[in-house]
Structures are given as C-alpha cells and as structure tokens.
Structure 1
Amino acid sequence: MEVRRGLLTCAGGLVVLLAVLGVGVVGWAAAGLGAVVLAVAADRRASVDDVARLGPADAVTLARATLACGVLGLVAEAATGVGVVERLVPLAAVALALDLVDGKVARRTGTVSPFGARLDGESDAFLILVLSVHVARDVGAWVLALGLVRYAYAGVAALVPWMQRTLPPRYWRKVVAAYVGITLAVAASGVPPATATGAALVLAAALLAESFGWDVVWLWRTRRLAVDAPVASRTQA
C-alpha cells in the first residue's frame, strides 16, 4: 500500500473509532490534531527514507498510532470532566499489545527497515506522552517527564553534533518503553493503591533515565568518531 493511501486509510479508521468511542467535540479536535501531526511526520520521514510503500509491519504500527490518537481524544474529554476510564484503558491496552506484533511481523516478512523502526519509535513515544498527560492530572506534573523525555532528547540531539550518530541496537530500549506504557495505562485505570502507583511510576522514571543516559554516555565516549547518518531518534532496538 502506498504511504499516503495508508495514512488516509488510518484517518478513515480514526473517524470510525471516535464515533464508536462516542467522544465529544473536544475529543474530536484533539484526536484530529494529533493525527495530522503524526501523518505529516510519517509522510516526511517516508520521503527522506525514499519509502513509497508501506510494509505489513508498518500497517500494524500505523494502526497502533491510530489507536493512540483515539486515546488522545479520550484524554481531552477527561480534561473536561467526562469519565473515560472504561474506554481509555482497554484502548490503550490494545495499542500497547500491538507493539509486540509489528516487530515480529517485520522480521517474519523480511521487511525490517529504518523507516519502520522510526515509525515504531514515534508511535511508542506519542502514546506514552498522551498517557502521561492523563496520569499527571491525578499523580502530579512530574509524570509529564515520562512523556516529554523522548522529545527533549530529540531536540537536544538536533543541536549537538556528537549526538547525531546512529546508536547501536539495544533491545532494552523496547523493554523500558513497554514498561513505561503499561505502567501509565495501569495508573490511568486508578485500580492500584496510590502508593503502588507512585512507586511504579518512579521506577519508570528511573528506567528511562538509565536508558537515555546510557545512550548519551555512549555517544559522548565515541564522539570523536566520524559522523555518519544523523538519527536524532532512539528507535533502534
């Protein structure tokens, strides 16, 4: 499937999803804005990587991004005082579960690519950011750091030359991202006691600090090497 056709298909899927979720005007606006931002970023990335067609794994990743936009719509609704937990948590759970699927599909179909890896990483980061916004309303503003750290890293990397080199593969990054996403979804459910939720979120922050810190240290130690393909992205597992 062509990239833009795939993005338009996801847009149609989002319309259906939002209708099923029964979100209001605020939810539609937030989800639509999020979808536009993700679509523009994906289209530009496809142009840079010279990708004309989506692979099967890319389709799964875009479906996950569509669900994340649905979660954003519910989070926006929650900000107006509407109860959304019964819809938000299952939707986030499905999006998180699909994160286990796209990588396997890419490997089994032989369609692993830098574009797919970046798309996967951006989908992860977006969902984590959206969930952190929701959880921060009850737990505290510091939770926003869990969602913003990926974007802060990308911003700094864009300005610091020695951070613009390809990172070595590290599966631990995916493990940390999965833990953070699951922890935020569980926290959003409001089921665990506040003490347990707080401890789990603190651990998530510590794991993110270790993960990003390891990458920064590695880049610093190898900064004298010649700069190769810029990444400004931590998407390699």
Structure 2
Amino acid sequence: MARDYPHAQLGGANLVTTLRLAFCAAMAAAMAAPGGPAAQAGWPAWGPTLLALLALSLDGIDGWLARRQALSSQFGARYDMEVDSALAAVLAALLVARGTAGPEMLVLGGARYAFVAAAQLLPWLGAPLPESLRRKTVCVVQIAALVALTAPILPVAADRPIAIGAALLVAWSFAVDIRWLVRRG
C-alpha cells in the first residue's frame, strides 16, 4: 500500500473494504469449528450466511465513498476486486466443506485465481481490461448465488441449478474478457 496508494489518507472506502475482508476471515474461521461446517445447525449455520450478506451489502458502499471523498484509485479498485475474489473463494470452500456442492465450486470460487495463474504463463492475459458493467454485475450475481447457497433454508433441489447457472455466467464473463485480450494480443 505504501508503494501503490496515491492518497495521503486511507479513506472510508478502504476501511469498508477491510471490514469486508474481516468478514471473509470470520467465515473462513467457521470452517474450523468443532465438527466442521457440515455439523453446524441452527444459529451457527446462519453465521456465515449473515456475514456474507453483510459483505455483499457493503460492496457497493466502498466505491461510492471513494468517489464522495475524492479518494478513488486503481489501488482501491484492485483491493475491492481481490476482496470480492476472497469472498467467493471462502464461500465456495465453505460449501464444499459442508458437502453440499459440486465441481462448479471450482469456477465460482477459483475463476479469478485460475485467471491470475494463467497470466503467469501467458503474460498477455495480465493486460489491463477496460471497466465493465458486465463484469461487475456477474460478480454480484456470483456472490449472491454463493450467499444463497449457504443459507440453511434453501431447498436442496435448488442448490445445483443455482450453482451451475452462476458458474456458467462466471465462465462466460471470463471467456468474453479472454476473447477481448486475445484480439489485442
């Protein structure tokens, strides 16, 4: 942050994003609960869902605060994106640990990390992408689907269609970006 943050003050946006990251850490800690996530019932089963819902709800506030305080930066946008990725990964891991998820969780929780790893082998994948409402919308749908899947009241029959639908949407969005990057060399 000392190297890349362009402002003299931290600002409310980065504090909100850090709070969202703390919620991710708390959800990750839920996986270490006695008996693991699969044994949780009642209120403990709702804990990760409520934290994830709070994290998702705060996602739009950080950008608004940054613009309002004139503290928008590439650092803040990247920080927000990485916290979104961490949130998706933690939620997907929690669902796998509960035993209620299939292989689509690799896409929902790991797409961003697979893309970054691929960019190490194919550097052209690491080129900057233009701002995209599509990308932001798909991210919100992805995380909202993961939050819904953690809710203990979701009918079991709805789990797979929601997860697969969201995974297909994420895969499509990454394919659009990769196609754009291929065309630019």
Fold shared, TM-score > 0.5 on shorter chain:
yes
Identify the range of structure 1 (68-77 vs 120-129) with the bigger mean alpha-carbon deviation: 68-77
| Ranges in structure 2 where 5+ consecutive residues have no aligned partner | none
TM (norm. structure 2) is 0.88
Query: What is the match of residue 4 of structure 2?
Result: 49
Checking the alignment, whether the CA contact within 8 Å between 2:104 and 2:167 is kept in structure 1 is: no
Within-5 A mapping of 1:193-204: 193-204=155-166
Q: Distance in 2 between matches of 1:145 and 1:163?
A: 18
The answer as to 2:48 corresponding to 1:88 is yes
Among 13, 30, 37, the alignment partner of 1:74 is: 30
Give the match's secondary structure for 2:65. helix
**What corresponds to 2:77 in structure 1?**
117
Name which of 167, 176, 181 aligns with 2:138. 176
Q: Deviation digits for residues 125-148 of structure 1, max 9, x if unmatched? A: 001101001122212243233111
Give the superposition deviation at 1:86.
Answer: 2.2
Counterparts of 2:5 and 2:67, CA distance in 1: 20
C-alpha RMSD of the superposition = 1.7
Partner of 1:60: 16
Tell me, in whole angstroms, the C-alpha distance in 2 between the residues paired with 1:71 and 1:87: 8
Q: Does 1:105 align with 2:60?
A: no
Q: Aligned-pair distance for 1:80? A: 7.2
Q: Is the 8 A contact 1:75 1:130 kept in 2?
A: no
Q: Are 2:104 and 2:164, in contact at CA under 8 Å, matched by a contact in 1?
A: no
Contact 2:37 2:45 in 1 (8 A): no
Q: What letter corresponds to residue 114 of structure 1 in structure 2? A: Q
**Are positions 1:161 and 2:123 aligned together?**
yes
The percent identity for this pair of structures is: 34
Is the contact between residue 157 and residue 164 of structure 1 (CA under 8 Å) also seen in structure 2?
A: yes
Distance, in Å, in 1 between the alignment partners of 2:50 and 2:71 is 29
Alpha-carbon spacing, 1:48–1:221, altered in 2? closer, same or farther (3 Å):
farther
Deviations 1:133-188 (A, max 9, x none): 11222122432331111101001112212222111110221111111111111111
Deviates more, 1:196-205 or 1:72-81: 72-81
Larger mean CA deviation between 123-132 and 159-168 belongs to 159-168
**Alignment partner, residue 24 of structure 1:** none
Higher relative contact order (CA 8 A, sep 6+): 2
Is residue 61–residue 123 contact of structure 1 (8 Å, CA) maintained in 2? Answer: yes
SS in 1 for 2:72: coil
- In the alignment, the residues of structure 1 paired with residue 5 and residue 18 of structure 2 have an alpha-carbon distance, to the nearest angstrom, of 18
Structure 1, residues 3-49: CA drift from partner, whole Å, max 9, x if none? xxxxxxxxxxxxxxxxxxxxxxxxxxxxxxxxxxxxxxxxxxx2441
**Is contact 2:89–2:109 with CA below 8 Å preserved after alignment?**
yes
Q: What is the number of residues matched between the two proteins? A: 178
